[in-house]
Structure 1
Amino acid sequence: MKKFVLPTKALAALAVLAAVVAPMSAQAHRGWLMPSHTVLSGDSFWVSFDAGASNGVFIADHAPLRLSPQSLVITAPDGSAGAAANLTQGAYRTTFDVEINKPGTWKIANGSVGVNAAWTLNGTPGRWRGPAADLAANIPAGATDVVSAPSANRLETFVTLGEPTMTVFAPTGVGIEMVPVTHPNDLVAGEAGVFQFLKDGQPYADADVIVARGGLQYRDNPEEMTVRTDADGKVSITWPEAGMYWVNTSWRDPSAPAPTGYEGRGGPPVASAQYTAVLQVLP
């Protein structure tokens, strides 16, 4: 399989808003983006990443995560763009490498933010997904019963070289985002980590957050818990053991109306948002 270097443009963070990519995971599967290392020392270090979707987190047995230049955004501590090298999509996982060559905390993220639309044209239903700015141009003339709904998906992990920094956690105000109180590269087994979740820039209160530890293939029972955010969108997670953890919260609006003739064909567009972080907890 051919390997190549995928450059990430300086404005790639904005390009996420216009990404036209598949959702990060199917409804029944969990998407993940797992680094080989999260805490580093020295001047420079290569970190490898595995990305996939599966029932059990971090088990490459279902489908690779499909990454694109628009969806994969690598942000260095100073706000500049990093680059993915050796990007390879296999049968069950996608892999790539990143040279971590600036001190501080890096964010490696895959995401899509846009709008889903549906309509009826001459009795036939149609649908489209893409950037909100392109919606009007992609609704055919004469379409009726047009319904649209925003969607936002983010999957993130973090790597720190030297002393941890907080610049990559500045929220955009779109979709669900995590603003850490406890730095995500400073998590220790048996201690609590505190995180704040925002939805469209406001505290995401009274929301379920799923926390699952990796390595299910080696255990009889899954190690998973659900915690709930408080009025400020904050949640405290006490890590039972060291390991890699999958942390997820989502939102879905069930109230979107169905356009005429669209029923039974996958349902109408529904506003939704999802956020996932992959975190390493040290002993």
Structure 2
Amino acid sequence: MTHFSLRTATLAVALTAIASLAQAHNAWLLPSSTVFSKADTVSVDAAVSNDLFVANHAPLRLDGLQITAPDGSTVKAENETKLKLRSVFDVSVAQPGTYRIAVINTGAFASWKDKATGQNKRARGTPETIAKEVPADAQDVTITQSSGRIETFVTVGKPSALKPIGQGLELIAAGSPTDLAKGEKATFTLHLDGQPAKDLEVSVTAGNTQYRDKLEEFKVKTDDKGQFSVTWPAAGMYWLDANTKDTKTTVPQAKERRLSYAATLEVMP
């Protein structure tokens, strides 16, 4: 099993007869709480890790951090710090309703053959700078565009509807993404550039993977309306992950666009 750019390493395969957890690196945001009765502050961990919600690999870069208040205004993170294994920041949640806390990653990847040496070369950059990374005499140039969203949600008081973004992969909840409970069925919709993301596989994994011999993720598929449902087997933090690709590029010379989405959701007892 592999996941798109949000997972930055290949699966470690067990080479013994004993079953072991084979899991690639995951990128995630983990809020200290997802529900508040009144104005408060939420602390968020951000990391890329071997185990879900355990900071044991690298901090998540926060260059694309976007925090959206219930009224659609932008909120600035407080006390933002990059540690050795994780990034951390605080968010003052004062407005009633649901906040969207996200890290947006947009970029491009180029590969080519060096004309002089014949060696294969690679480079990463932004959609605006990737062309500068490729020599003018490069051969067999391939450019791929990428767009990723990693997010979580926090509600103060009564939940409010999420305002559609209309770009890339995004999650839309029939109810509130912070009003989830063990044994209950929740229905979500995935959109791609504002339209239903049809027939897309979604993986759902509970946290605490370091204490399990198997990953124990389960997968569902979106229908023609982009909808999918999950009945939560237990309380706890869950990681929801989806990815796809198409040819709707905006980067010159790019022939493929790869899109990814990941969200951290809390399920109550």
Bin of the TM-score, shorter chain as denominator length = 0.7 to 0.9
Deviations 1:132-170 (A, max 9, x none): 344445544344433222111110100111121124x41
Deviations 1:4-63 (A, max 9, x none): xxxxxxxxxxxxxxxxxxx54413211110101111122x20101111122321122222
Match of 1:179 among 167, 172, 175: 172
Partner of 1:279: 265
Q: Once the 2 structures are TM-superposed, how far is the Cα of residue 210 of structure 1 from its aligned partner?
A: 0.9
Deviations 1:51-95 (A, max 9, x none): 112232112222221222xx1111111221112122222222221
Aligned partners of 1:117 and 1:269 also within 8 Å: no
The count of residues paired between Structure 1 and Structure 2 equals: 243
**Residues 44-59 of structure 1: matches in 2 within 5 Å?**
44-59=39-54
Partner of 1:32: 28
Change (3 A) 1:136 1:216: closer
TM-score (norm 1): 0.77
Could you tell me how far apart the structure 2 residues matched to 1:274 and 1:137 are?
A: 25
Q: Aligned partner of 1:103: which letter?
A: P
Aligned partners of 2:185 and 2:231 also within 8 Å: yes
Aligned partners of 1:210 and 1:247 also within 8 Å: yes
Could you tell me how far apart the structure 2 residues matched to 1:53 and 1:130 are?
A: 20
Q: Identify the range of structure 1 (235-244 vs 212-221) with the bigger mean alpha-carbon deviation.
A: 212-221
Partner of 1:246: 239
Q: Once the 2 structures are TM-superposed, how far is the Cα of residue 220 of structure 1 from its aligned partner?
A: 5.0
Pair 1:96-2:89 in alignment: yes
Aligned partners of 1:35 and 1:157 also within 8 Å: yes
Deviations 1:196-226 (A, max 9, x none): 1122333222222111111233445544211
Match of 2:37 among 36, 41, 54: 41
Equivalent residue of 1:74, what SS?
strand
The runs of 5 or more residues in structure 1 that have no matched partner are 1-22, 255-267
Aligned partners of 1:89 and 1:95 also within 8 Å: yes
Aligned partners of 1:171 and 1:179 also within 8 Å: no
Identity of aligned residues (%): 43
What's the C-alpha RMSD, in Å, of the aligned pairs?
2.5
Equivalent residue of 1:271, what SS?
strand
Q: Once the 2 structures are TM-superposed, how far is the Cα of residue 120 of structure 1 from its aligned partner?
A: 4.0
Could you tell me how far apart the structure 1 residues matched to 2:227 and 2:220 are?
A: 10
Change (3 A) 1:104 1:141: same
Could you tell me how far apart the structure 2 residues matched to 1:65 and 1:129 are?
A: 17
Q: Once the 2 structures are TM-superposed, how far is the Cα of residue 188 of structure 1 from its aligned partner?
A: 1.2
TM-score (norm 2): 0.81
Aligned partners of 1:249 and 1:275 also within 8 Å: yes
Equivalent residue of 1:106, what SS?
strand
Equivalent residue of 1:132, what SS?
coil
Q: Aligned partner of 1:280: which letter?
A: E
Could you tell me how far apart the structure 1 residues matched to 2:131 and 2:55 are?
A: 39
Q: Identify the range of structure 1 (123-132 vs 193-202) with the bigger mean alpha-carbon deviation.
A: 123-132
Could you tell me how far apart the structure 2 residues matched to 1:115 and 1:172 are?
A: 20
Pair 1:147-2:133 in alignment: no
Change (3 A) 1:209 1:142: same
Could you tell me how far apart the structure 2 residues matched to 1:88 and 1:269 are?
A: 37
Aligned partners of 2:166 and 2:192 also within 8 Å: no
Could you tell me how far apart the structure 2 residues matched to 1:99 and 1:234 are?
A: 32
Aligned partners of 1:24 and 1:65 also within 8 Å: no
Q: Aligned partner of 2:112: which letter?
A: W
Q: Identify the range of structure 1 (232-241 vs 79-88) with the bigger mean alpha-carbon deviation.
A: 79-88
Could you tell me how far apart the structure 2 residues matched to 1:96 and 1:269 are?
A: 37
Q: Once the 2 structures are TM-superposed, how far is the Cα of residue 228 of structure 1 from its aligned partner?
A: 1.4
Could you tell me how far apart the structure 2 residues matched to 1:130 and 1:31 are?
A: 19
Partner of 1:7: none
Could you tell me how far apart the structure 2 residues matched to 1:151 and 1:60 are?
A: 25
